[in-house]
Amino acid sequence: MTDEIPFWKSKSLTEMSPSEWESLCDGCGLCCLNKLEEWDTGDVYFTSIRCKLMDGESCRCTSYPNRWDFVPDCVQLTPEKVPELEWLPPTCAYRLVKDGRDLYWWHPLISGDPETVHIAGVSAQGRTVSENDVELDDFEDYVVDWPLTVEDDMLPNPPVKS
């Protein structure tokens, strides 16, 4: 047994290596859902409409290295952008680390299994429709709140003390 502190507890987002950064993604697919923003208030609403590149079962991008060739406005998460993205779900590891919180029990870095995010029911798996199958005028009909809900048994540990 090792007493080594995991990188997400010992490093800030900006201190992480590219592989550490990528491993923080839990594969939930929530950031790849289309969102609607109210012009007047700036409020952002999630829809159950996924990006055309997102696989609805694996919740992974089908063309991750080349995604900007097909989706030029795809938002790339970076350490600099994370604090600005208020719409990141409360379960997002990037948001949790930014806020000094621990990862959830189902995160693959904790569980060792990339399927636990789906088993825990916190991913978009099986709950979405491709943007190719919905008219833009109908997006409002697909607004959902489940990406923003967290059950009590999903709560991570309290903030990490530095």
Let me know if residue 156 belongs to a domain. Answer: no
> Among 150, 68, 110, which residue's Cα sits nearest to residue 51?
68
Tell me the per-residue pLDDT of 45-86, one tens digit each, with 9 for 90 and over.
999 999 999 999 999 999 988 998 999 889 889 999 999 998
Q: For residue 132, give its domain range.
A: 7-145
Cα of 43 vs its chain's centroid, Å: 18
Let me know if residue 88 belongs to a domain. Answer: yes
Let me know if residue 1 belongs to a domain. Answer: no
The three-class DSSP label of residue 64 is helix
Let me know if residue 78 belongs to a domain. Answer: yes
How does residue 150 score in pLDDT terms, banded at 50, 70 and 90? Answer: confident
Let me know if residue 103 belongs to a domain. Answer: yes
Let me know if residue 91 belongs to a domain. Answer: yes
Let me know if residue 127 belongs to a domain. Answer: yes
Scanning 62-129, the segments in alpha helix (DSSP H) are 67-70, 93-98, 108-111, 116-119
Q: How many domains does the chain have?
A: 1
> Among 84, 82, 93, 79, which residue's Cα sits nearest to residue 6?
93
DSSP β-ladder status, 44-50 and 33-37? antiparallel
How does residue 159 score in pLDDT terms, banded at 50, 70 and 90? Answer: very low
Asked whether the predicted pLDDT for residue 11 surpasses 50, the reply is yes
* pLDDT score at 110: 95
How does residue 22 score in pLDDT terms, banded at 50, 70 and 90? Answer: very high
* pLDDT score at 76: 87
C-alpha distance across the termini of the chain, in Å: 23
Asked whether the predicted pLDDT for residue 149 surpasses 70, the reply is yes
Let me know if residue 136 belongs to a domain. Answer: yes
Tell me the per-residue pLDDT of 89-141, one tens digit each, with 9 for 90 and over.
999 999 999 999 999 999 999 999 999 999 999 999 999 999 999 999 999 99
